[in-house]
Amino acid sequence: MRKMPEDKVHKITSVTCTAPVNIAVIKYWGKRDEDLILPINSSLSVTLDQDQLKTTTTAACSRSFKEDRIWLNGKEEDINQPRLQSCLRELRRLARKRRSDGDSSTDVLSYSHKIHICSVNNFPTAAGLASSAAGYACLVYTLSQLLGVEGELSEVARQGSGSACRSMYGGFVQWRMGEQEDGKDSVAEQVEAESHWQELRVLILVVSAERKPVGSTAGMQTSVETSPLLKHRADSLVPGRMEDMINAIRQCDFAAFGELTMKAIVAYTFDAGPNAVIYTLQQHMAEFLQVVMQFFPPETNGGQFLKGLPVSPVTLSEELKSSIGMDPLPKGIRYIISTKPGPGPRLVDDPSLHLLGPDGLPKKTA
Amino acid sequence: MRKMPEDKVHKITSVTCTAPVNIAVIKYWGKRDEDLILPINSSLSVTLDQDQLKTTTTAACSRSFKEDRIWLNGKEEDINQPRLQSCLRELRRLARKRRSDGDSSTDVLSYSHKIHICSVNNFPTAAGLASSAAGYACLVYTLSQLLGVEGELSEVARQGSGSACRSMYGGFVQWRMGEQEDGKDSVAEQVEAESHWQELRVLILVVSAERKPVGSTAGMQTSVETSPLLKHRADSLVPGRMEDMINAIRQCDFAAFGELTMKAIVAYTFDAGPNAVIYTLQQHMAEFLQVVMQFFPPETNGGQFLKGLPVSPVTLSEELKSSIGMDPLPKGIRYIISTKPGPGPRLVDDPSLHLLGPDGLPKKTA
């Protein structure tokens, strides 16, 4: 038996890549298939510049490695996690297929080697900054480079974390929900490159770098189970908004981009003073008010905090509260006046309400 | 000389009226004529329900009164204030004209009597809740009732406080800026009555009931003098927005109503976590960031508060700061990441940046 030279035994092939965070402006929320991660609606995001936010991943393979291993942000994690396994399995399958199709550009059978993966984020993990999107996009991209796999890879990234498919492209990216059961048509594609809209800027206001108490997967399941509006949004609202958003981006129309991003159920304005005036529709009033009262709780006398038209109390879901995540500010708002559009000036007939008395001077009570 | 009966000598004619507050959704900001109060742009507002917010005014006249007098919120004020005098003079002129035109429905020559006026608000005065609008609308309406004047009165109310002309009508009201030098065509008119959009609700978040440090008149003058964008807004943006807003109201289209009301220079979104992501355009970045840093100041180390793309510091005007009016919240935001759209995943060539060492294990620094 021929003895392998020392350096051949230990040869390690490694590759390092970075991948970006993306922030959706039309959100993905709700799955139609949990295993393949197929969404109930298309979505659209902006890929952020990696100079500020990125995942870096090194993947190495070697005949000498005994098992697949992964380190995330300096700590070894369980490689057997199902979504991680989906990505590894799929990329090895593609590498094998490529080899059997006659492509010999990869000179080692690296898909048969064990792989070590090491990944770090330069931003808070799991605080709702799409760390899993950047993470899985980086994993898939790095493995594809290591294994010599090319072509459409957003479908593989999607199986790690849904929104990861959008981090496979720069600029403005849509994730088409697709229709097929196998998810082959549920892929990301670039709408415009990052160079298209030079003036667009992004600020992230980090209020907490803590790991969020409810993960997105659990949050989505709760929403699918409890919200009758979610299906309506997915089926009736999102298709039109996707089209409008793509047009807004193509035309660099910030007003339309902003409106579609916020798609507000309330509108606010200030009238040359510090008090916010909120316009909303009756059906959103109770929940919005409860959110305001949750985060700006009455300081002393709860009964006097809400003046004007009564609003029925509602219970906020834990998901909604945790997704807002700010600490309550008891001094933020002194009180709230609840009102609606009304008529113009009018005459007061009741003499007891007149402000001047029979002597033509202000009544004592005025 | 015939002795007047006692009750005749002391006869007082009085009338009491209420008038509403209005909150503009397309703002009036800037005058082309300070004396007649003629605006540089048209505006549009929602009149709020008087069940929650109103001014009540009683006006009385009597041959026995020695002078015009006015009490506001329980305190006698100077009746010689020029804008008050404009309204009084104009209404007396209209009453005289009506009398000389042959209308004798007013059986006393009340326009020649001295008038006592007493007015109260049931909401904070001068805190940016349009108290002067409700106040002057109520004054003009009440005096018109006392003096038997009918017809278009928003032009008179406008001479007391510009936006008061809009409080002369209920529901959704536009103030046409007009073109004439005498201001006769600078009047309010109802777009739709309050009954037209039954679902619309309004919340006022009262953060301060203090008198604001800079009044609207001074604020507008500063803006007209210092802002090159104000004229552009008035000339180029407002006409189209007025048309769009009128359509939004006529169609009860809340999405359009909300977008036009906020006309945001920034758009925000949350990505399943507590950290706000803000999209804006480069030209608005510096000022927006300064506003954020003014009200969410860095807790300890200012240098680390803003990460990512540098943004030049700018100085905020006192008007802008006072118009926001909230107290700074040092713990509100931990830090800010400034970034922009960027490219997709990429390969890292520099081996010093690889995360796995030659042994296939994480480097100590990773």
pLDDT band at B173 (very low <50, low <70, confident <90, very high): very high
pLDDT for B239 equals 92
Per DSSP (E only), the strands in chain B are 13-20, 22-26, 31-33, 38-39, 43-47, 54-62, 69-72, 75-77, 114-121, 172-175, 188-192, 200-206, 266-270, 276-281, 306-308, 335-339, 346-348
- Residue in chain B nearest A320 by alpha carbon: B272
Q: Percent of chain B scored above 70 by pLDDT?
A: 82
Q: How many CB pairs under 8 A join A and B?
A: 495
Closest CA relative to residue A74, chosen from A53, A56, A87? A56
Provide the pLDDT for residue B167: 95
Say yes or no: A263 contacts chain B, CB-CB below 8 A.
yes
Annotation: CATH topology of A266-338: Alpha-Beta Plaits (3.30.70)
Nearest CA-CA distance, residue A126 and chain B, Å: 8
Residues of A in contact with B285 (CB under 8 A): 201, 203
Q: Does B278 touch chain A (CB under 8 A)?
A: yes
In total, chain B counts a number of residues equal to 366
DSSP string, B310-329: -----PPPHHHHHHH-PPP-
Task: Return the pLDDT at B154.
Answer: 97
Nearest C-alpha of chain A: how many angstroms from B102? 25
Nearest CA in chain B to A137: B345
Annotation: CATH topology of A10-241: Ribosomal Protein S5; domain 2 (3.30.230)
Q: Identify all chain A residues contacting B326, using CB atoms and an 8 Å cutoff.
A: 274, 332
Contacts of A88 (CB under 8 A, 6+ apart): A68, A79, A115, A143
Amino acid B127: pLDDT: 46
Interface list for B 82-111 with A (CB within 8 A): none
Touching check for A116 and chain B: CB below 8 Å?
yes
- Alpha carbon B321 to chain centroid distance? 16
**Which residues, 6 or more positions from A195, have their beta carbon under 8 angstroms from its beta carbon?**
A171
pLDDT of res. A195: 92
- Give the residue with greater pLDDT, B246 vs A229: B246
B218 has a pLDDT exceeding 90 = no
- The residues in A 224-253 lying below 8 A from B, measured between CB atoms, are none
**What pLDDT, on a 0 to 100 scale, did the predictor assign at position B6?**
47
Check CB contact of B153 with chain A, cutoff 8 Å. no
pLDDT on residue A3: 45
Cβ distance A20 to B344 less than 8 Å, yes or no, reads: yes
B297-306 tens-digit pLDDT: 877 654 578 8
Q: Using CA atoms, how far apart are residues B57 and A158, in angstroms rounded to an integer? A: 66
For the cut 50, the answer to whether the pLDDT of residue B263 exceeds it is yes
Q: What is the ipTM for the molecules in this complex?
A: 0.72
Q: In chain B, helix, strand, coil percent, each to 5?
A: 35, 25, 40
Secondary structure class of A249 (helix, strand, coil) = helix
CATH number of B11-241: 3.30.230.10
B297 interface with A at CB cutoff 8 Å = no
B1 in reach of chain A (CB within 8 A)? no
The answer to whether the B11-241 and B266-338 domains have the same CATH topology is no
What is the residue-level pLDDT of chain A in tens, covering all 366 positions?
Answer: 344 444 455 688 999 999 999 988 998 878 899 999 999 999 999 999 988 888 999 999 999 999 999 999 889 999 999 999 999 999 999 999 988 887 666 555 677 899 999 999 887 664 456 678 999 999 999 999 999 999 999 999 999 999 999 999 999 999 999 999 999 999 999 999 999 998 898 888 876 555 545 566 766 676 666 666 677 778 878 899 999 999 999 999 888 888 888 777 778 777 656 677 888 888 888 888 888 888 788 776 545 788 888 888 888 877 667 656 566 777 677 788 888 898 888 888 888 888 888 888 888 754
Stretch among A249-253, B99-103, B247-251 having the lowest mean pLDDT? B99-103
Residues of B in contact with A48 (CB under 8 A): 339-342
Yes or no: say if B353 and A56 are a contact pair by the CB < 8 Å rule: yes
Extents of the domains making up chain A: 10-241, 266-338
Cβ distance of A354 and B19 shorter than 8 Å? no
pLDDT digits (tens, 9 = 90+) for B109-152: 677 899 999 999 887 664 456 678 999 999 999 999 999 999 99
Q: Do A366 and B198 touch (CB under 8 A)?
A: no
Q: What residues of chain B, 7 to 46, have a C-beta less than 8 Å from chain A?
A: 12, 14-20, 23-25, 27, 46
Record: contact B137-A258, CB cut-off 8 A: no
Q: How far apart are CA A73 and CA A71, in angstroms?
A: 7
Distance from the Cα of B238 to chain A's closest Cα (Å) equals 14
- Looking at residue B180, its amino acid is Q
Closest CA to A209 of A319, A296, A325: A325
C-beta atoms surrounding A173 within 10 Å: 27
Locate the chain A residue with the closest alpha carbon to B61: A360
CB contacts of A338 in chain B (<8 Å) are 52, 201-203
- pLDDT score, position B104: 62
Name which of A171, A267, A332 is nearest B262 (Cβ-Cβ).
A267
Residue A231's pLDDT is: 77
- What pLDDT was estimated at residue A324? 61
